[in-house]
Chains A and B, each alone.
Chain A
């Protein structure tokens, strides 16, 4: 620990939570110095993320050293990115939800439900466009149901999404009669399993979702409000944000991402099944948390989430490439989660007292235009 004890009484604790009065105080601070980019907003890569990126690089090195001829190939990277695509998109949605102070345990089930609904024989008969729209709609609708129950019904997110996790999976099983629904619609497979400019369509989709997500989160009022609500919902409400509507929409985004991920999973496996998306909630939450997003909300980074997703994907590839058992892989996964979070604690402790991380509440921009 490099900081002196006297530092820790100066407001922010090292996990970024702050006393109730904090947003207002900083609002004034930022108001006085609008030009200063001290909160890192204009600088997308946080120092803490460098450690995480380091972990990713080290993993790639290990992969290269142990399997020089097959790991660092273009083909393997394309495969890894393709496999990361679905969980990556789900994690983007999860980052929004967690930054807004929520949690979504139902992502895996929503992926399953969307994938099943879009591959029923009836949906397939309408062609690929309807299939994709169907997945997006089902995802969005289930996400909004989550959001409305949480925001307007005042049920805690953990319980609401736990209920959705059970019932969406159940509905998926019912629709599919627990069978694997193979996609016979060739237009769909041809497009989503293909390449554009030598890069798989799924990877383009991941990139698009990520970039849009980043812009929305970091460059729009919607994004700033998301941070504000997660940081302090009451302060956000007092500054004029419609917290309920916003919360519902954030869960809607989470659901929409699940719909997109379902399209990806269906493209990869050429089938929809109620077993799709098993344990996505755990993988997504793990990726978001090692990416530096606070589980209590108010602070987070999409870039961190993306690196988190890639770390797990690369790990899986390394273990397969070296023909190692899955049990060791699970141990390594656990160790990496804890190590990454500890690493962030030390780096943020060292930085304590310095300007705040990106995404910290910037209340001067909160009370912007009301729609």
Chain B
């Protein structure tokens, strides 16, 4: 009898404990930031282009928003479309499954949209469906990850990975010369080495450093996550007892890179980031840590892509160019954001 009531009491107590714990946990899921304004850079449309034209429907397809930069791409595209009263955006759910993305683009073609904005998960895999749209007379704006053939897009707009490396190296060389460092030890925390974009960034970095008479010293590759950034940087700092400068390819993993540097207590070197997240821009602005600059690979290109799609669908050119037509390829510039100009770029910083 006693055993039974003991059991019952124990059951009741543990049940209550579980419920209580559950309630506490459920209360801990809220994540509402203090200010929710994702105020991103918008294209306003110059001269005649700012006036509403013919009403157009744009189709939009992108990969799943699984990291800060990609999430910003989708957010930017949507808010840019809202900016224009004459644009209706037909956006599909982001997916990393190429078959599903192909199906989505096909459905947009069938819906007879006026122009398609496609950021493919894999440029090669989506080439055929891009070409199918073009063949049916729907202009395709290919964003960032380029299709295999120009036949599959009307206009390509994307970032410049090579120049990211070049500009990071240029800033570094300038800063090193200003600090009068000869024979500097320059470290590099790359992203996933197997990706062409990482190889291009590293190539640009190497080439430009060589032009200044410098070379890359210790180099590690992380995988765009804060955790890998921390791990690889901690090891890198151990291998180099003295560093003068460090380039980190990607601001998403930069949170971890900064954590590793803070943890090591080292302050003899400065650091340059890549991509341009809001986090990193704030750090540059505060100028309290090693981070002195970041080279952009800005998701504002998604806003521009929507603006271009609108102009293409309305048969307009870019007002300031002499061309009647929208150019076939546009490469965005990897500007260097430093303390001096960071205020000007805060609006393109994305939440990583």
Q: Which residue of B lies closest to A194 (CB)?
A: B263
Q: Does A76 contact B (CB under 8 A)?
A: yes
State whether B279 touches A182 (Cβ < 8 A). Answer: yes
Q: Does B144 contact A (CB under 8 A)?
A: no
Residues of A near B28 (CB, < 8 A) are 117-118, 120, 122-123, 126, 130, 134
Residues of A near B224 (CB, < 8 A) are 275
Interface string of B9-48 (1 = CB under 8 A from A): 0000000000001001101111111000000000000000
Q: Does B173 contact A (CB under 8 A)?
A: no
Per the bound structure, the CA–CA distance linking A164 and B218 in Å amounts to 38
Q: Which residue of B lies closest to A118 (CB)?
A: B28
Per the bound structure, the CA–CA distance linking A148 and B228 in Å amounts to 33
State whether B227 touches A70 (Cβ < 8 A). Answer: no
Q: Does B351 contact A (CB under 8 A)?
A: yes
Contact of A70 among B219, B231, B241 (CB under 8 A): B241
Per the bound structure, the CA–CA distance linking A73 and B30 in Å amounts to 44
User: Given that A83-B235, A117-B28, A137-B21 are known contacts, is A323 also in contact with B226, CB under 8 Å in the complex?
Assistant: no
Q: Does A316 contact B (CB under 8 A)?
A: yes
Q: Does B106 contact A (CB under 8 A)?
A: no
Q: Does A50 contact B (CB under 8 A)?
A: no
**Size of the chain A interface, CB-CB below 8 angstroms:** 51
Residues of A near B227 (CB, < 8 A) are 265, 268-269, 273, 275-278
Instruction: Name the interface residues of B258-281: CB closer than 8 Å to any CB of A.
Output: 258-260, 262-264, 279
State whether B225 touches A273 (Cβ < 8 A). Answer: yes
Q: Is the interface of A mostly helix, strand, loop or mixed?
A: helix
User: Given that A82-B234, A275-B225, A275-B226 are known contacts, is A178 also in contact with B31, CB under 8 Å in the complex?
Assistant: no
Q: Taking A130-B28, A271-B226, A276-B227 as given, write out 16 further A-B residue pairs in contact, using a Cβ cutoff of 8 Å, ordered by the A residue number.
A: A73-B238, A79-B235, A79-B238, A80-B238, A82-B234, A120-B28, A120-B29, A122-B29, A175-B31, A178-B67, A268-B231, A270-B258, A278-B225, A320-B218, A320-B220, A326-B193
Q: Does A26 contact B (CB under 8 A)?
A: no
State whether A320 touches B256 (Cβ < 8 A). Answer: no
State whether A121 touches B30 (Cβ < 8 A). Answer: yes
Per the bound structure, the CA–CA distance linking A75 and B220 in Å amounts to 19
Q: Does B132 contact A (CB under 8 A)?
A: no
Q: Which residue of B lies closest to A86 (CB)?
A: B227
A75, A76, A275 — most chain B CB neighbours (10 Å): A275
Per the bound structure, the CA–CA distance linking A265 and B231 in Å amounts to 10
State whether B238 touches A317 (Cβ < 8 A). Answer: yes
Q: Does A13 contact B (CB under 8 A)?
A: no
State whether B66 touches A69 (Cβ < 8 A). Answer: no
Contact of B352 among A76, A83, A180, A193 (CB under 8 A): A180
Contact of A76 among B32, B238, B262 (CB under 8 A): B238
Contact of B238 among A70, A126, A178 (CB under 8 A): A70
Q: Does B335 contact A (CB under 8 A)?
A: no
What is the distance, in angstroms, from A323's C-beta to the closest C-beta of chain B? 5
Per the bound structure, the CA–CA distance linking A262 and B335 in Å amounts to 36
Interface string of A178-197 (1 = CB under 8 A from B): 11111000000000010000
Q: Does B252 contact A (CB under 8 A)?
A: yes
Interface string of B221-253 (1 = CB under 8 A from A): 101111111111011111111000000000010
What is the distance, in angstroms, from B169's C-beta to the closest C-beta of chain A? 18
Q: Which residue of B lies closest to A181 (CB)?
A: B31
